[in-house]
Structure 1
Amino acid sequence: MDVSGRTADGRAGPRTYAVTIDRPPAEVAPDGKLPEPVARLGPGVAVTVRPAPGGRGTELVAVLCEDEPGPLARLSARLVGEDRRAAVRIALRQAKQVAETGEVLR
């Protein structure tokens, strides 16, 4: 994969999404259990919980392991509400909100 995030054959590589949570890793993922919004993403997403750089809380990193669909497939998935990339971003945002405030904010 080159710096553009594409493989040698021109396909997009795996997508990585991250969020920094202002809580220690033991509070974000007690006993190694992922936060509920992230846990329900399923097996197509690899999630890592690690200390954030500079001791600033916890970094929650999600890598979308599925093959990237083409532009038309992404558009149609987005229109019907089945966009995996959006689901990962929403789950990370909700996990941050639950860890920092105790609830998903509206």
Structure 2
Amino acid sequence: MSPHVAARAARAGGALVDQLRSTLGPSSSSPAGASSPTSGWLAVTVLCQPDELDPASLPAPLAELGDRIEVDVRPAPADKGTELYARLIDRSGRSGAASRLSGSDAEAELRSALRRAKQLIEVGEVLAVDPAPHGKRTATPGGALLESWTKDAPAAGVR
């Protein structure tokens, strides 16, 4: 397959995915947890006992948010660990496309802090993904799709 044909196939595949997303609606293109609940509470289930988590001494990613958040710790259903809840106290600056593009989305920051806190509690460190190798890659439809998803990954997949 020539590079030109592969590039056209990749563009056509991307256009097809965009068309499907617009047909299915915005909720289909959002990953689980990307839309904020009306209550403002975001949660993660942590593999530990509820008495091991003290809301007064939070893991560093949540502690850095300080007075901007409130935190609650509850036992998970069926004795499956602990649910760690957090929400922004001042939700007047609703997150939207403009705040995400400018990098000042407080809810995205809170989601990221919850994920990192979960990793610290369960593993003891925040895991990092190895960067993608640099250089020229062969253009394939699957590769183009993967590249588009990789661009959205740092923002929790939120567009």
Deviations 1:1-36 (A, max 9, x none): xxxxxxxxxxx954110000001123333x841121
Q: 5 Å matches for 1:1-106?
A: 13-29=38-54, 32-69=56-93, 74-106=96-128
Number of corresponding residues: 92
Which amino acid counterpart does residue 75 of structure 1 have in structure 2? A
CA RMSD of aligned residues (A): 2.2
1:9 counterpart residue number:
none
Unaligned runs of 5+ in 1: 1-11
The TM-score, its normalising length taken from structure 1, stands at: 0.73
Deviations 1:28-62 (A, max 9, x none): 33x84112111111222111112212211111001
Quick check: which has more Rg, 1 or 2?
A: 2
The TM-score, its normalising length taken from structure 2, stands at: 0.51
Q: 1:40 to 1:70 in 2, by over 3 A?
A: closer
Q: 1:57 to 1:70 in 2, by over 3 A?
A: closer
Unaligned runs of 5+ in 2: 1-36, 129-159
Looking at secondary structure, tell me which structure has more strand per residue.
1
Looking at secondary structure, tell me which structure has more helix per residue.
2
